[in-house]
Every structure is written in structure tokens, then in C-alpha cells.
Amino acid sequence: MLFQWSRLEAGTIRLVRFLPYSTPSNLYLALEHRFGYWEEAVQYKALSYVHGDHTNRKSVTLAGRSFMITANLYAALAAVYARGEGDCWLWVDQLCMNHQNIAEKNSQVAQMGSIYASADKVLAWLRPQDSMLRELATGEAEQNTGRSKCPGHDTAAVLRDIARHPYWHRAWTRVEALRAQSLEIMYGDCFIKHEQLQSLHGSMQVADQEVLRAALQRFLPKPEPGPADDNVHPATILSEVMLEYSKCISSNVLDRIFALLNDPRLDTLPLKHRPQPNYGLTAPGLASALALWHDDLRNVPATSPTSGMNPTLYDFHGCLTAVLDLP
């Protein structure tokens, strides 16, 4: 029988967990509703991944019913299960959100930043690579050489390969990684933590360190938004974030904007007229909503005489056109 969604109450998310008789080739998952997911007592991990080709799908058994997911998600779940994470609760958007119910999708997408920030750990799934990263995942590298102990490979090349992965250029995965309390990279069948990447970075030659500095910043913990943002005008923050996300890949412009609205740098901005996710909107309608919020932000007084650029000195219309792919 096919899976049937049940109603999701306000303040509640769905979580899934592998059942004991699962195998990597046959995944069986339990599903539960959890209220107050932001509370410390509710423990779960969140999976962050690129959906992949939606025409390439595989079946899992969810709450006793057949459920189709993308092959890339299946590979990620199989890797999580094979690592022995079968007893932990997971939040996975394809399994925990009814994408066909627009009202539910609007509500859940509005909470995505909070869902990922509240997770004990975010598991970032990258495409499978060869098994030489097994040793790299232990944080071991030959001292003062910048090379791994795997013949024919060097640490710098491996990390550059990870840094070029499409994962880092998609709008939603960008937000999910930024929101993570703790981010763990799932690179094929290897799991790599922040601390291990930092250890590898420190063991490289200076030249390699300079080459990889920007790449490693993708994996390091991000500072909490807060008082530092007071030095930049709110309207400027919005425009800068919009320009960044205009370069991100997304399935459509609505997803790009709703991901942007979950970026932690916007948390400190005034809420009046802030757009809320609404998948019934068109791009022009969303442009109007963003313009209204921006107009409000322009009227926010600067916190100091030197607080960022004057909001009249940049082209907000250009930012809007770029992020919404408008002509």
C-alpha cells in the first residue's frame, strides 16, 4: 500500500528512524510526530543533501507503506544506516514534509532555519567518492608534507574536490550548513568532522594552507549573528544576502528566496512586512513583497554614524532582478 500523510499540528515536525530489520538495500523507517522540536529534550539529527534527479527514484518502506524518494537521498540514508546510526531520529525533508500540501509546506519551510539549528548535528551528504578518504576521515595526514597516507592522493587535492561539490552552491544546502550547531561531512562512506578538517589543514605546507583557506571556511563553525550586524544598515544586509543567493542554484526562484529568508544573517532584521514562504506566489508577487520589506528597512535609523553604507547607495532593483531571475 502507498503511504498516506496525516495532519501535522502547529509546532510539530515529523522524524524518522530506521527499523531493526533494515538493510542498506531495503530501508524500513518508523515515523513519529514530535512537538517542541526546539527543546533540548527532543534529540534528532538533520540530513542536508542535494535532491538529485527526480526521475531517478527508489522505494523505501515508511510507516509500513511504500514511499518513493530520489536515488541520491536513498544513497545518503544507506550511508547513515551503514555507519550504525540506525537508532537515531532523523529529519529529512522528503520523508518528513508533505510537499503536495501547500499549506503544510509553507509552514514547514518557514521553520527550516529553526529545524536545522535545533538539530544535535547536521549530516551533509556529498556524492560518493573512492574509499581513500577513510584515512583522511580519521584526521591523519603525514606531518609537514600536505599528503595523505593513501598512495597517489594528497590532502589538498581531496579537500579542493570536496569544496567544488555542487552541495555548497545550492541555496537550501547553504542555509542548512550555516544553521548547523555541528556539521559533519558525509563524503561517500566517510564521515569528516570540523575538528578533523582543521587538523588536516594544520598539517599541510604553508602554500597548501593558503590555497585551501577559503575552502575550509565552508566547514568551520559560523559566528552567531548579533551585535556585529549593528555596524551595517539593515537594508544593506538584505541586499548583500540577496546578491549572494542570486549566485546559488535552486529548483526555482521561490525556493531560492525562501532559503534566503532562513539565512541567519537576516535574524536580526525587523520583522515588519518580512515575507513568509508562500508557494502560491508568483515571482512578481514575491518581488513586491521583498520590495515592501526593503522599504521598511530603509527607514530604520542607523545605529551609529559609521554603520555601513547608506542604503540609497546601492541598486536594490538590481539585487531583486538578479535573485529572482527577472528580465
C-alpha 147/C-alpha 152 separation (Å) is 9
User: Residue 311's pLDDT is what?
Assistant: 54
pLDDT for the residue 213:
57
Question: What does the pLDDT read at residue 113?
Answer: 96
pLDDT at residue 98, rounded to an integer: 96
Mean pLDDT for 80-91 is: 89
As given in the structure block, the three cell numbers for residue 233 are 544598515
In this prediction, residue 35 carries a pLDDT of: 94
The DSSP result for 244-305, as a single string, is HHTTSB-SSHHHHHHHHTT-GGGTTS--TT-----TT--HHHHHHHHHHHHHHHHTSPPSST
**Mean pLDDT in residue range 112-136:** 76
pLDDT surpassing 60 at residue 136: no
Q: Band of the pLDDT at 142, cuts 50, 70, 90?
A: very low
Phi and psi (nearest 5°) for 16? Answer: -120, 155
What value does the mean pLDDT of the chain take?
Answer: 81
Q: Rounded distance, CA 92 to CA 267, Å?
A: 23
Is 146's pLDDT higher than 50? no
Provide the pLDDT for residue 310. Answer: 56
Return the pLDDT at 327.
73
Q: What percent of the chain has pLDDT over 90?
A: 54
37 pLDDT above the threshold of 80: yes
- pLDDT, tens digit (0-9, with 9 covering 90-100), for 149-188: 333 445 566 666 677 778 888 999 999 988 999 888 887 6
**Burial class, 26, CB count within 10 angstroms (exposed 0-12 / middle 13-18 / buried 19+):** exposed
Q: What is the pLDDT of residue 217?
A: 58
**Span 295-305, average pLDDT:** 74
pLDDT digits (tens, 9 = 90+) for 220-256: 545 454 444 457 889 989 999 999 999 999 999 999 9
Question: In this model, does residue 130 exceed pLDDT 60?
Answer: no
